[in-house]
Homo-oligomer: A and B are copies of this chain.
């Protein structure tokens, strides 16, 4: 194995839970290099939940790594099954969607996915699976179903639990993994990416490709990202997520709120920070956790915006953070609503004995309004109720507009 292949393999392996199999992945990488061909890396897209959060980006970042190594991302839009939904109506993650809804959702998805993926034509292929699934007839479906046994299907984690508990499993639920596997056959994928919750479905693709005389795809599983609460997986419904379209300031604040224990996971799965560097960052003897989280937050924001936005988000956070340190029992000062020079406000709030002292304090950099440091004592300020004027480290006043 040449050094660049070795390096590529290590990059790709980072953060994965399982690779079926590492040996086959290496062989594919070598073969692709030798033949100068692109590997086809499959990722399924769920058109019922188009809004992406960081949980989704874990596999998408892996997909991007493949693209950066020259390979082709093949995104499968599950439009066919979305159009059908779950006929029993029990599975709320399979609602019936109209063609219009699906198109809209796919648009939203791709607009957001652009932030992570290389969308150039030679690096990305988008295929709705209705393209081939709508042509399947009963004979083809019977053939497809003949390739998998009931026992094997019931070994699948979620089915096994439900079956043991006596919860009903409808037979059509057995069809979905087979459809997904059939997608792999149709696009001749070399690798399929997915969360660990997709392991079974993705392995079905291996089986079906084997039966159809194709080289079985490599299956790489990525961990499910924990939500901000550190308890449940990141999801919109749990409101413990960071959306990829969140404002930089929101992203920053949310990352700062995670527990110290979660940092390593987030660094590994959401950034390219090298592993030895991560080790330093999560060692509280070497790096203050607050500082490490700020670095994590800025890294992530820079991915979706740029480093300037990341810096601004940090500064804004610091301001808010500073404001949070205000005492609860600040003296109030009643003012009229008209714009007033800052120095006069300071005096009338009783924070300086004279206009001269007030001017001096401002010029020394010891005065802030709403956490924002002021430099011009003549600045015209429009008083608002709740506005906080701070002088030095310990003198505050809260404005009440009459």
Contact = CB atoms under 8 A, between A and B. Distances in A.
A172 interface: yes
Interface in A71-92: 80, 83-84, 86-88
Tell which of A136, A149, A171, A179 has the most Cβ of chain B within 10 Å. Answer: A171
Nearest to A169: B150
Given A163-B151, A169-B151, A141 B143 contact: no
A146 interface: yes
A153 B178 CA distance: 19
A144 to B, nearest CB: 8
Interface string A131-175: 001101111011111111111011000010001001011111011
A171 B153 contact: yes
Given A83-B139, A84-B139, A146 B171 contact: yes
A267 to B, nearest CB: 42
B139 A166 contact: no
Interface in A111-138: 133-134, 136-138
Given A84-B139, A134-B138, A136-B137, A150 B174 contact: yes
Nearest to A140: B138
A80 B141 CA distance: 13
Tell which of A142, A148, A163 has the most Cβ of chain B within 10 Å. Answer: A142
Contact of A145 (B134, B137, B139, B170): B170
Given A151-B169, A168-B151, A169-B151, A138 B146 contact: no
A138 B145 contact: no
B133 A138 contact: yes
A170 B179 CA distance: 16
Given A134-B137, A138-B80, A163-B150, A87 B171 contact: no
Given A134-B137, A149-B168, A150-B170, 13 more contacts: A80-B138, A87-B143, A141-B172, A145-B170, A145-B172, A145-B174, A146-B172, A148-B170, A150-B154, A150-B174, A151-B166, A171-B174, A171-B178
Nearest to A177: B171
A138 B136 contact: yes
A133 B168 CA distance: 27
9 contacts: A80-B139, A142-B172, A145-B171, A146-B171, A149-B168, A149-B171, A150-B169, A150-B174, A153-B171
A253 to B, nearest CB: 44
Contacts of A179: 138
- Give 6 closest A-B pairs by Cβ, nearest first: A145-B172, A87-B146, A145-B171, A146-B172, A149-B168, A150-B169
Nearest to A174: B171
Contacts of A154: 150
A175 B145 contact: yes
A142 B94 CA distance: 13
